[in-house]
Structure 1
Amino acid sequence: MISLKNVVKKYGSKEVLKNLNVDFPDGKTTVILGPSGSGKSTLLRSLDLLVRPESGTLDFGDISLDYSQPVSKKKSFDIRKKTSMVFQNWNLFPNLTVLQNITTAPMTVLKQSKVDAEKHAKILLGQVGLAEYADRYPSQLSGGQQQRISICRALAMNPEYILLDEPTSALDPELETQVLLILGELSKMNQSMIIVTHNMDFARSVADKIVFVEDGDILFDGTPDDFFNHPTTRIRDFLSGITFNDNEALK
């Protein structure tokens, strides 16, 4: 399990995360929801130190970290070995083939042999329906295919948790569906995932836990059933797409 306690992150005078406390259970899919600019991505990126909060603690298995203290290279490395991040824009290396994009990190970071890394990569490509694309370059693939390769690259590191930051926001609906189906299969396999998304249907179908963030505060931390079927007034407005200002305008 990953646990954050009393986490504070500021950008200048703006407090983006406000003394947050939240757990992310093993073998489950946690979906982080909230309006734009609420702190969702900052929260996600705090988990693998892409963002460094000013204070608070992170406990991740046998690793404990105080954000207010210097973090050694070894501890950063140990945390990042446990996670793999999938971004909005897939960030594949354009000069490498699909197979090379997937195998580079396992070979350099995990010290896998080329034979073992390629064998695992080909298995992963088969699982996402792209086995025949191993020797192609990213420019020869659609956006949905590139994002599926990005997920393969994350899985190739054998992470305890996959962190996904709006993984389908740059895709059209048809390509989005391709990627969401893959993530749904991973969820059924009890791969630990933490996903930031705006897709409510996807959140409803795959989430074991939902965390709703707004203005740096956690306003909900619980089950999808409670979130979607017994929402607070604020969450009901969020789900219906009605903001407070819209309500005022309708009076």
Structure 2
Amino acid sequence: MIKLEHIDKKYADHHALKDVSLTFPEHETTVIIGPSGSGKSTLLRAINLLEKPEMGQLHFDDLTVDFSQPISNKLRFAVRRKSGMVFQNWNLFPHLTVLENITEGPRVVLKQSKAAANQRAEELLALVGLPDTGQRYPNQLSGGQQQRISICRALAMNPEYLLLDEPTSALDPELEAQVLRVLKDLAQNKQSMIVVTHNMEFAELVADRIVFFEAGEAIYDGPSKTFFEHPSARVQEFLNAISLK
């Protein structure tokens, strides 16, 4: 389980996170939504220690990070070992094949044998519908395919949680649908996920819980069904603003 307590993050001219306390249960999909600049990505990056808040604590199973104190490399590695991060842009190594991109981490960090890493990579490629792409290079794939490879690369490290920061924002609608179908399957298989997205259809379909952020604060944290079927005035205003209906 991931638990955040009293997380506070300030930039020079922006208070990104304001005393945020949240819990992310295992085997559930939590979707974080809200206006641009509300703190969603900052929160996700703090969980993966890519951002360091000034205050607060992160509890990840038996690990505790006190953000008011220096974070050792050992603790940083231990936290990141438990989570896999997928970014807006897929960040694949262009000089490595798809198979090499997926197996690099397991072989170097997890010390897996080449045979074991390759076998797991092939299983993951089949899982995301790309079983015959192992020997291709990233520039030979579409954006949607590359993002699915990024998900494979994260899953290859056997993370407890998958963290996804706007994973489809750079894709056209058809390619976006390819990636979202993969995430839907992972959610149905109870992969623990925290997803930042603007796609409300995906959020309503897949999320167990919704966290709605505004101006650095979580103003809703609860079941997806309640969020969409019985929205507060502010949530309804937000949903209306992003709908074409």
TM-score normalised to structure 2 length: 0.98
Cα deviations across residues 123-153 of structure 1 (Å, max 9, x unaligned)?
A: 1001111111100000000000000000000
Counterpart CA distance in 1 for 2:152 and 2:181 is: 14
Displacement of 1:15 in angstroms is 1.3
Question: Take 2:188 and 2:239, find their aligned partners in 1: how far apart are those partners?
Answer: 25
Q: Residue type of the partner of 2:68?
A: S
CA apart distance, 1:14: 2.2
Compute the displacement of 1:225 (Å): 1.1
1:160 aligns with 2:193: no
2: CA distance, partners of 1:33 / 1:201? 12
The gaps in structure 2 that reach 5 residues or longer are none
Q: Does 1:130 align with 2:130?
A: yes
Q: What's the CA shift for 1:13?
A: 4.3
Structure 1 gaps, min length 5 = 243-251
Which string of whole-angstrom CA distances, capped at 9 and with x for unpartnered residues, describes residues 202-233 of structure 1?
Answer: 00000000000010011100011111011111
Structure 2 counterpart SS, 1:131: coil
What TM-score do you get using the length of structure 1 for normalisation? 0.95
Q: CA-to-partner distance for each residue in 1:139-191, whole Å, 9 max, x for gaps?
A: 00000000000000010000000000000000111110010000000001100
Q: Which residue type is aligned with residue 42 of structure 1?
A: T
| Distance of 2:111 and 2:240 partners within structure 1 | 49
2:22 is aligned to 22
Percent of aligned pairs with the same residue?
61
Q: How does 1:73-92 map onto structure 2 within 5 Å? A: 73-92=73-92
2:216 maps to what in 1?
216
Please name the residue that 2:66 is paired with: 66
The 5-angstrom pairing of residues 1-251 of structure 1 reads 1-241=1-241
Aligned mates of 2:48, 2:106 — CA distance in 1: 18
Displacement over 6 Å in runs of 4+: none
Give the distance between the partners of 1:36 and 1:107, measured in 2 at CA: 38
CA shift for structure 1 position 11 = 0.5
Q: In 2, distance between residues paired with 1:96 and 1:240? A: 44
Q: How many residues get paired?
A: 243
CA distance in 1, matches of 2:48, 2:120: 24
